[in-house]
Structure 1
């Protein structure tokens, strides 16, 4: 589900959320007809982003060539938004004055961070056996990710720390335990370190390290962390 945005079609989704993804089965085209398609022998589920209303087109340098539709670039669904984007317009204006060389546009690493939050959200809320979404348990840290009018509180609640991950792990559903170990925990360590690099780079005005979290928060690093080989992805293109 993370192959297309910004990598193969030069688009940046900007609003990665659990309700803008659909799971599809890969199909192979049969004889040239308009009404038939032949399902492959072993159908495999694919994740596809299906809402590009807020997407922007990226140029060769990875920067947006079209303006963001969000107010002051705060675009997305609150529980899944990257921490950098959770600013009031007033605070964003102060940020721009303090760090005039640091990019304020939506970065690719913001979408990667959103995917991480979706994995955590799904592992604590989606009952795969019953095919339903569960209510959040009382005291769940995820309540603060979405049910607060104060985005600054959300930033503090969402800060990636080991105590937070320990609390979240208590709410992981049994069928998601494997994903927690294989994907979520390694990605947590990746983002914790990458965001630390990004914050330091912000202070020193290092744009490249701010953009990529010191080279850690990239598509390639994300995929390597979850030990998945990208499909049809040529890094030379």
Structure 2
């Protein structure tokens, strides 16, 4: 059975890789000098509004069932968790995966995982959201909730904002992002602050695909997995088994 945790598990008995992942996340988010670019993520962590989960090796079929279970459980209660909530999922990442997989390999693994999870969705796709990833309104949906998905991997080096010791997903509900954008003036100020931090954090300029939801030239899927350079896939690998 899947289980959601709070950041207090830093001090609870866990498997060694799970403890290491939590400690690494804490260090990344709370670093005093190299400040993590996403300010709302920092706020969510400090306010204990984030939830955490663990899953198997992402190459393992079990990982998709575990992620689907975590996402379903999280989605059912997320609206009571605070306006900075997000679901963080750490995947067991053996040494052979770390040593052999490149940024491109992890990219394919990410999309394979997202496709498998989508096929396990027991509900219909959100009606107001396009089923075509190449439509600017498209975003990942699961159990009738809309989400932004962020992926970090051990292979990323230049784009440090996308580096993490294990394969990791940070999944944020769209309603959280809508709250963030409710005040146009505050949202614009926050966007500039995040951009400034990102430029200092990474060893390369921000990826050209980093845009804002709703822009006609923005495609959410391109931001889910950013490469370690300025390139991106020519088309989205996501293929949902649409419910009839």
TM-score scaled by length of structure 2: 0.26
Structure scoring higher RCO (CA < 8 A, sep ≥ 6) equals: 2
Whose radius of gyration is greater, 1 or 2? 1
